[in-house]
């Protein structure tokens, strides 16, 4: 693991240490939200919030090996990447402290949620390959993740599931040694296409990580709406209240936190923190939600709540989940892809299709052995 690379598996943040805040900032940035840099949640610098990141085409060409004509890209050199992610613990504490304490206007959280612009989205990976330095870790992975469905990515450790997910969210390019090839399309539109900004993709594609990383000192309320600025939509205080309630409700957390919204996110249990991170992702109304082992650190009750949440969310958001839990894959997904790598061969998809068929009538003996626990 490159120590300078942004990591999706940053340690959980039990306190307000710079490391904990940076981990939360990593996740927030990756989930499409700006890292808070002052006392106003989400009021980060305009270039960060609006995705006006400097383009460096030669760097892009170096890391991707793709022609500049075909792919000018919006890749960032590491110095710029790190500039996006800093967090200020003291400022965040101030944020929590300055939020006015006032009652909410009544809203009906069951009222229809306004559809994200464009409605349900299909995500398609075409011939995606990935490298870390000279090490090729994915080889020509093609997969269609159908609109309004949950697609589960399964496979043994190290076969490239997280790397694939990070390519879908344009996180992979933030790793200094990383390169990639192929295309990722939302409803036919390549997220790596000409003139596409990093934050265009992040706005459409939210991400929830293995270990929940809310901003620990920031209030639950401010955590939930920390990414709102990214939409470029200025919302009134009442609208913000509505969004907080809706997102926390959709994430299955509202009832547990509605009387403690001004308390720090870091004071929640692990399962609650994960649902807070889901709420935070939903606040920017992504069309696609990527989840990398979102329940692996959770107890069965929290896992069940999150699975129920996913089942509700898939009516509005296309979901891709990485899981090592075969029962979970069967419970939550309609589509499934089995990844496999070996020491000498990079990760690739062995088989994909309907989840029921993958588990009950796999076509490849390796799939059959894996889903039956023979290896992995």
Ligand X SMILES: Nc1ncnc2c1ncn2[C@@H]1O[C@H](COP(=O)(O)OP(=O)(O)OP(=O)(O)O)[C@@H](O)[C@H]1O
Name the residues that contact ligand X, by CB under 6 A.
Answer: 1-2, 5, 132, 137, 155, 157-163, 175
CB of 193 to ligand X, least distance (A): 24
> And the tokens for 257?
């936190």
Nearer to Mg ion, 162 or 303 (CB): 162
The Cα 270–Cα 122 span in angstroms is 31
Task: Give which of 282, 276, 283 is closest to 254, Cα–Cα.
Answer: 276
CA distances from 96 to 85, 140, 220 (A): 20, 46, 9
- Which 220-279 positions form the footprint of Mg ion (CB under 5 A)? none
Query: How many amino acids of this chain bind Mg ion (CB under 5 A)?
Result: 1
Nearer to ligand X, 158 or 267 (CB): 158
Choices 110-118, 154-162, 167-175, 177-185; region in contact with Mg ion by CB under 5 A: 154-162
357 binds, among Mg ion, ligand X, none (CB under 5 to 8 A by kind): none
Choices 111-119, 157-165, 265-273, 304-312; region in contact with Mg ion by CB under 5 A: 157-165
CB of 131 to ligand X, least distance (A): 9
163 binds, among Mg ion, ligand X, none (CB under 5 to 8 A by kind): ligand X
158-162 long-range contacts, CB within 8 A, separation 24+: 158/341, 158/347, 159/339, 159/340, 159/341, 159/347, 160/130, 160/339, 160/341, 160/346, 160/347, 161/292, 161/322, 161/339, 161/347, 162/8, 162/9, 162/292, 162/322
CB of 5 to ligand X, least distance (A): 4
CB of 295 to ligand X, least distance (A): 14
Nearer to ligand X, 92 or 141 (CB): 141
Enumerate residues 6+ apart whose C-beta is below 8 A from 199.
32, 50, 51, 53, 230
Nearer to ligand X, 165 or 253 (CB): 165
CB of 199 to Mg ion, least distance (A): 24
CB of 174 to ligand X, least distance (A): 10
162 binds Mg ion (CB under 5 A): yes
In this structure, the number of other CB atoms found within 10 A of the CB of residue 62 comes to: 12
The Cα 113–Cα 110 span in angstroms is 8
Asked if 160 contacts 346 with a C-beta cutoff of 8 angstroms, the reply is: yes
Q: How many helices (H) and strands (E) does the chain have?
A: 15, 10
175 binds, among Mg ion, ligand X, none (CB under 5 to 8 A by kind): ligand X
| Pairing mode, strands 150-154 and 335-340 | parallel
Nearer to ligand X, 137 or 320 (CB): 137
Asked if 280 contacts 228 with a C-beta cutoff of 8 angstroms, the reply is: no
Nearer to ligand X, 68 or 127 (CB): 127
Nearer to ligand X, 81 or 137 (CB): 137
Per CB under 5 A, residues contacting Mg ion are 162
């Amino acid at each position: 693991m490159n120590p300078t690379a942004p990591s999706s598996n940053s340690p959980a943040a039990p306190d307000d240490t710079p490391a904990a805040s940076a981990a939360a900032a990593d996740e927030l940035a990756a989930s499409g939200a700006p890292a808070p840099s002052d006392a106003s949640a989400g009021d980060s610098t305009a270039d960060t919030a609006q995705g006006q990141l400097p383009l460096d085409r030669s760097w892009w060409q170096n890391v991707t090996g793709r022609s500049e004509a075909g792919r000018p890209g919006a890749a960032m050199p590491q110095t710029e990447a790190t500039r996006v992610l800093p967090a200020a613990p003291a400022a965040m504490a101030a944020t929590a402290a300055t939020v006015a304490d006032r009652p909410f206007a009544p809203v009906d959280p069951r009222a229809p949620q306004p559809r994200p612009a464009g409605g349900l989205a299909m995500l398609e990976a075409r011939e995606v390959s990935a490298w870390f330095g000279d090490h090729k870790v994915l080889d020509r992975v093609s997969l269609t993740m159908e609109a309004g469905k949950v697609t589960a990515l399964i496979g043994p450790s190290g076969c490239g599931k997280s790397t694939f997910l990070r390519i879908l969210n344009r996180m992979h390019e933030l790793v200094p040694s990383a390169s990639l090839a192929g295309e990722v399309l939302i409803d036919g539109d390549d997220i790596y296409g000409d003139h596409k900004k990093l934050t265009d993709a992040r706005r459409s594609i939210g991400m929830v990580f293995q270990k929940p990383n809310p901003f620990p000192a920031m209030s639950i309320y401010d955590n939930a709406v920390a990414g709102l600025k990214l939409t470029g939509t200025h919302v009134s205080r009442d609208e913000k209240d509505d969004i907080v309630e809706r997102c926390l409700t959709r994430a299955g957390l509202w009832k547990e936190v509605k009387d403690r919204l001004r308390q720090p996110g870091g004071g929640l249990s692990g399962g609650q923190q994960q649902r807070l991170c889901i709420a935070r992702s939903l606040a920017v109304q992504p069309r696609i939600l990527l989840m990398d082992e979102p329940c692996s650190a959770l107890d069965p009750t929290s896992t069940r709540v999150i699975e129920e949440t996913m089942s509700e969310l898939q009516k509005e958001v296309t979901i891709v989940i990485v899981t090592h839990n075969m029962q979970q894959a069967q419970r939550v997904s309609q589509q499934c892809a089995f990844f496999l790598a070996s020491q000498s061969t990079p990760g690739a998809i062995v088989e994909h299709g309907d989840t029921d068929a993958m588990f009950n009538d796999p076509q490849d003996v390796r799939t059959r052995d894996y889903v039956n626990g023979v290896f992995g």
